Amino acid sequence: SYELTQPPSVSVSPGQTASITCSGDRLGDKYGCWYQQKPGQSPVLVIYENNKRPSGIPERFSGSNSGNTATLTISGTQATDEADYYCQAWDSSTACVFGGGTKLTVL
Amino acid sequence: EVQLVETGGGLIQPGGSLRLSCAASGFTVSRNYMNWVRQAPGKGLEWVSVIYSGGTTYYGDSVKGRFTISRDNSKNTLYLQMNSLRAEDTAVYYCARALGSSSCIYFDYWGQGILVTVSS
């Protein structure tokens, strides 16, 4: 079955750039997307089709996907960006796959 | 406005059955890819099942043969019938609408989630 791997945690200082990676076999051949989940809340889509932002998502959120790695980048990170982030892809054999999630700490 | 409201969760004994419902508004369930995604306490997201607009269904390995996804077009409602429940099925279950096609499918709307606890 297809798997996506994320680092368990990433730390960033306010105003700096945070990068969260998601690795999977030939992930660049698929489309990656990213969700933000704050405690007690439902996930929110922040990036789809590798690098597109839904309406209402700040421009500081961006994405890329190449080779075996998709990356979520948050520029000028704010305290409100502290959350869990999940990557997701759709595989022909497994259907939907989520990464294990990354806890972003802004300190 | 798109809304998804899950109901039907609660405490159930191991081996028991439960049916979750997801009432949708603001769009037509039968014209979309509808999914169930779950999250065990303190854990990550796990995809459970999808029903495509054409009616084809798929399941995650951990629930295959025990869970059944379905929809009632007249009620614009999605269901998840869960049988032979195990302790490891304890989770918040989310109903989610998916957009896209082929290998580019993503969830744009999520319900608030409903807790299912499997325990004796």
The mean per-residue pLDDT over the stretch B30-46 comes to 97
Q: How many CA atoms lie within 13 A of B66 on its CB side?
A: 16
Across chain A, what does the average pLDDT equal? 95
Question: In this complex, which of B35, B50, B108 lies closest to A45 when CB atoms are compared?
Answer: B108
Give the pLDDT confidence score for residue A84 in this predicted structure.
Answer: 98
Are B110 and A43 an interchain contact pair (Cβ–Cβ within 8 Å)?
yes
DSSP line for chain B: --EEEEE--EEE-TT--EEEEEEEESS-GGGSEEEEEEE-TTS-EEEEEEE-TTS-EEE-TTTTTTEEEEEETTTTEEEEEE-S--GGG-EEEEEEEEEEETTEEEEEEE---EEEEE--
The mean per-residue pLDDT over the stretch A80-106 comes to 93
Are A96 and B100 an interchain contact pair (Cβ–Cβ within 8 Å)?
no
Cβ neighbours of B56 in A, within 8 Å: none
Give the pLDDT confidence score for residue A1 in this predicted structure.
Answer: 84
CA distances from B52 to A88, B46, B55, B58 (A): 18, 18, 5, 9
Q: Which two tokens stand for residue A14?
A: 């306010």
The mean per-residue pLDDT over the stretch B6-34 comes to 97
Residue A25 confidence class, pLDDT cut points 50, 70, 90: very high
The mean per-residue pLDDT over the stretch B79-94 comes to 98
Q: Residue A62 is which amino acid?
A: S
φ/ψ of residue A80, rounded to 5: -70, -10
Give the pLDDT confidence score for residue B100 in this predicted structure.
Answer: 84
CA distances from B56 to A27, B34, B71 (A): 25, 11, 11
Taking a contact as any Cβ pair under 8 Å apart, which residues of chain A between 46 and 85 contact chain B? 48-49, 54, 84
More confident residue, A94 or B68: B68
Q: Give the three-state DSSP class for A81.
A: helix
The mean per-residue pLDDT over the stretch A24-48 comes to 96
Give the pLDDT confidence score for residue A92 in this predicted structure.
Answer: 77
